[in-house]
Amino acid sequence: MAHPMARHAILPRTAPFEDKERASLDAVLGAATPIQRAWLAGFLAGLDAAGGQPAAVPAAPPKAAEPLTILFASESGNSEKLAGDLAKLARKNGFKPKVVDFFDLDVASLAKEKHVVAIAATWGEGEPPARATRAYGELMGEGAPRLDGIDFAVLSLGDTSYAEFCAIGKALDARFEALGAKRAYERADLDLDFDKPAAEWIKNTLKALTPPPSADNVVAVDFAARAVEDDEEAEPSREPKVVEVVDHVNLNSSRSDKETIHLALEFEDGAPAYEPGDSLEIYPENDPALVDEILAATGLSGDAALRQALLSERDITTLSATTVERFAKATGHAEAQKLIDSGEAKAWIEGRHLIDLIQSFPATVTADHLTTITRPLPPRAYSIASSRKEVGDEVHLVIAAVRYETHGRARAGVASTHVADRVKNGAKLRVKLKPNRHFRLPQDPSTDIIMVGPGTGVAPFRAFVQERRAVEAPGRSWLFFGDRHFTHDFLYQLEWQEALEDGSLTKIDVAFSRDQPEKVYVQDRIAQHARELVEWLDGGASFYVCGDANRMAKDVRNAVVRAYATVKSLTDADAEAAVAALERAHRYQQDVY
Ligand SMILES: Cc1cc2nc3c(=O)[nH]c(=O)nc-3n(C[C@H](O)[C@H](O)[C@H](O)COP(=O)(O)OP(=O)(O)OC[C@H]3O[C@@H](n4cnc5c(N)ncnc54)[C@H](O)[C@@H]3O)c2cc1C
Ligand SMILES: Cc1cc2nc3c(=O)[nH]c(=O)nc-3n(C[C@H](O)[C@H](O)[C@H](O)COP(=O)(O)O)c2cc1C
C-alpha cells in the first residue's frame, strides 16, 4: 500500500533510502519552507566538510548566508532587545545577522550593506537616544553616503503620550529612502505595548527580506553561530514578579514641598540577579478616585469588572491624538471629530487627561468603548538604589511623587502617587527587572568614579557606593548631589556621611538650589571644581549622570566640556572632542529620563 505522504513525494524512487525512510524525509521536506530546505543543504554540506562533526569553524558553504545588518538606537534597552530578537530569528532563517548599536555605527560603511533593518526609539521631545546622537546626526547630515541597492526596513518605538510620537523612526525611514535605499517592508510605529506587534513586524520583515529560492542561494550554516547563542546572557524573565513592600519612608522632611519615597521590596523567591545600574519596572494601579470619577461621568458606576480593569489594566490618564480619534470614532461625537479634522487636537490635549475629554465631550460611552480608546497601563521604570551584596533579596527604589495642576485640575502621576499614597508596608507590587548594560561600574574596582545625581538621580549611586563598599573597591568615589533645600531635601544625608567615614565615598559636593537668592545647581559645582574634576578624568575616572534628561543632563555635559576648555585651555571644539572621547570609551555614561 502506498504511504500516505507519497502524493507529496520529493525524493526520487532512485534515492538511496528505504521506502520508509524516503517517506519520512518527504514528510519533512514537503512541509519545509524554501529557506529551511536551503538551510538543510548548507548544514549537510558543512557537516561533511567538518568530517561529520559540527565544527567550531564555519563550514565551506555552497553560498554565504544572506547578510543582514540590524541597527538599533536605544536608551532604555527596548530597541536593543528587539534587535537581539530579530537577530536570533534571522539566524534561524538562514540570514547572517550583524547587530550594530548606533553608538558604534560607522555611517560611511553603511553603503556596503545589502539588507538593513533599523530599530529606533525616540527620546526627549522627539530626539534620538543620547548614545545614538552622533551617528544619527551623520546619517541625517550632508555627508551621508548614498544607499542605493540596499533593502531596508524601520521599526520605531515610542510613546503616544509624547507630541513627537516615534519621530526618530519616522525620520530614519524617510532618510533611508531619500538616500536611495529600497523599502522592503512598511515601517511600524509602536507604542509602549510593543511586544506582540514588534514580534509580528519582525517576522514579516524577515519574510520580505528573504530572497526567492533558487539553486544558487543555498544557505550556509554558520556553526560558530550556535556557540554565540549558547554564550548569550540568560534573559531575565519577561513575566512580572510579585514583591512585598518591607520599608516605605518619605525621605523629605514634613516641611518640604516634595515627597520622595524610599521603598524597600522583598522578592519571595529571591531577588533577580540585578546589577548596580539596572532599573526595576513597577506595574502600578490607577487612583480609585479617578476611576470612580470616570465611571460616574460615563454612567457605568455599577460595572465591577470594568472598575477592576480601569484600576489595574488600562491607561486612564494619558490623552494622545490617538485616544481622541478613537473616542470620536467610537462615540460618533461630532465636536471631538472636529478637533481631529481641524488639526487642533495636538494643542487641545496638552496638559489634559482622559477625564477632560469625557467631560468636555459628553457622549454615550460603553465599557467596550473605554477599553478600545485606552491603551494597556504601562509599567514605570525606577533606578535600583541598592546592591545585592548589601541588601540580599531586597531591591530599594527612590520615587518622587509627581503632583501638579493643569487646566484648573489637580493631577497625580500614576505610579509615583500609587506608591506614595496607596502603598504601605506589607503591600504587594508587581515588578520586572530592566537591565541596563550601558550604565555600569568600571570593571576594575580601582578606577575612580564621579557620580552626578541630583534628586532621584542619586538612586543608582546609592547602589554604586554600596557595591564598592562591599567589594572594598580601592578606587575613589565623588558624588555631586543637588535638590531644593539642605534641611528638607538632602536624600540619604546620614548614609553619605557614613560612607565618607568608612571611605566608600571620597568626596561629596552638594547644590541646594533654593537655599540662597540665586539658584545653584550641580553643574555650577562642577564648574567650581573644574580643575580637580579634569585631574580625576585624566587619571582614568569614569563619569556618570543620572536624573532629569531635559535640562540637567545637557547642562552637566556642557559644564564638563567647559571644564576641559578652561583647565586645559582648549578650543570649544577640542573640549567637545575630549568629552566625546570619554563617551566613546564608555567612561561618560548616563541614565536619564
Ligand atoms: C530608566 C528610568 C529610570 C527612572 N528612575 C526613576 C527614579 O529612580 N525615581 C523616580 O522618581 N523616577 C524615575 N524615573 C521616572 C519614572 O519612570 C516615572 O516616569 C515617574 O515616576 C512618573 O511616573 P508616574 O506614573 O508617577 O507619572 P505619570 O502618570 O506617568 O505622569 C507623568 C507625566 O505627567 C506630566 N507632568 C508631570 N509633571 C508635570 C507638570 N509639572 N506639568 C505638566 N505636566 C506634568 C508629564 O507629561 C509626565 O510625563 C525613571 C525613568 C526611567 C525611564
Ligand atoms: C524621558 C523620555 C522621553 C521620551 N520621549 C519620547 C518622544 O518624544 N516620543 C516618543 O514617541 N517616545 C518617547 N519616549 C518613549 C520611548 O521612545 C519608549 O519608551 C521606547 O520604548 C524606549 O525604547 P528604548 O528602550 O529602546 O530606548 C520617551 C521616554 C522617556 C522615558
Q: How far is the CA of 311 from the centre of ligand 1 (A)?
A: 19
Q: Give just the sign of the alpha carbon dihedral 499, 500, 502, 503.
A: positive
- Given the CA of residue 460, which atom of ligand 1 is nearest to it? 8
From its phi and psi, is residue 547 left (phi > 0), alpha (psi between -120 and 50) or beta?
Answer: left
**Of 550, 306, 347, 582, nearest in space to 450 by CA:** 582
Separation CA 172–CA 128 (nearest Å): 10
Mutate to test the pocket of ligand 2, among 80, 155, 159, 168 (most ligand atoms within 8 A of CB): 159
- Given the CA of residue 397, which atom of ligand 1 is nearest to it? 8
Amino acid at 493: Q
Separation CA 332–CA 457 (nearest Å): 45
Q: Which residues line ligand 2 (CB under 6 A)?
A: 74-79, 121-126, 129, 157-159, 162, 164-167, 192, 549, 593
**Helices 223-231 and 78-92: angle between axes, nearest 10 degrees:** 150
Mutate to test the pocket of ligand 1, among 416, 419, 481, 483 (most ligand atoms within 8 A of CB): 416
Would the CATH topology of 241-284+379-434 be identical to that of 449-592?
A: no
pLDDT score at 34: 65
Do 409 and 423 form a contact (C-beta atoms < 8 A)?
no
CB of residue 435 inside a 6 A radius of ligand 1: no
Q: Given the C-alpha cell 507519497, which residue does it identify?
A: 6
CB of residue 420 inside a 6 A radius of ligand 1: no
Q: How far is the CA of 509 from the centre of ligand 1 (A)?
A: 26
Q: Give just the sign of the alpha carbon dihedral 363, 367, 370, 372.
A: negative
Nearest CA to ligand 2 atom 19: 158
- Given the CA of residue 75, which atom of ligand 1 is nearest to it? 1
Separation CA 526–CA 533 (nearest Å): 7
The CATH code belonging to domain 241-284+379-434 is 2.40.30.10
Nearest CA to ligand 2 atom 18: 158
Kindly report the number of other CB atoms within 10 A of residue 87's CB atom.
24
- Per the prediction, the chain carries an average pLDDT of 92
SS3 376: strand
- CATH class for the region spanning 288-373: mainly alpha
The CATH number for 449-592, chosen from 3.40.190.10, 3.30.9.10, 3.20.20.70, 3.40.50.80, is 3.40.50.80
Which neighbouring-strand residues pair with 451?
479, 544
Kindly report the number of other CB atoms within 10 A of residue 4's CB atom.
9
392 vs 264, 269, 360, 387, 493, CA distance in Å?
Answer: 11, 12, 51, 8, 23
Q: Which residues contact 456 (CB under 8 A, 6 or more apart)?
A: 260, 383, 398, 399, 400, 491, 547
115 vs 16, 63, 80, 109, 152, CA distance in Å?
Answer: 39, 17, 18, 13, 6
| Residue-wise burial string across 321-336, b where 16 or more C-beta atoms lie within 10 A, e elsewhere | bbbbbbbbebbebeeb
pTM of the complete model beyond 0.95: no
What is the block-wise mean pLDDT of the chain (593 residues), using blocks of 10 residues? 52 81 83 72 71 55 79 97 97 95 97 97 96 97 97 98 96 98 98 97 96 64 47 62 98 97 95 97 98 97 97 97 96 96 96 97 96 97 98 97 98 98 97 97 98 98 98 98 98 98 98 96 98 98 97 97 98 98 97 95
Biggest CA pair distance of the chain: 98
Mutate to test the pocket of ligand 2, among 70, 82, 122 (most ligand atoms within 8 A of CB): 122
Nearest CA to ligand 1 atom 31: 413
Separation CA 165–CA 121 (nearest Å): 10
Question: What's the fold here for domain 64-233?
Answer: Rossmann fold (3.40.50)
Separation CA 197–CA 82 (nearest Å): 11
Q: How far is the CA of 288 from the centre of ligand 2 (A)?
A: 27
The grid coordinates of residue 423 equal 502603598
Kindly report the number of other CB atoms within 10 A of residue 231's CB atom.
7
Q: How far is the CA of 419 from the centre of ligand 1 (A)?
A: 13
- Given the CA of residue 80, which atom of ligand 2 is nearest to it? 26
Do 29 and 59 form a contact (C-beta atoms < 8 A)?
no
330 vs 334, 337, 339, 363, 374, CA distance in Å?
Answer: 11, 11, 15, 10, 12
Instruction: Spell out the alpha helix ranges (H) of 422-529.
Output: 459-470, 486-489, 493-502, 522-528
pLDDT score at 290: 98
Separation CA 188–CA 155 (nearest Å): 5
Q: Which residues contact 7 (CB under 8 A, 6 or more apart)?
A: none
The ligand minimizing its distance to the Cα of 457 is: 1
Do 160 and 322 form a contact (C-beta atoms < 8 A)?
yes
Domain ranges of the chain: 64-233, 241-284+379-434, 288-373, 449-592
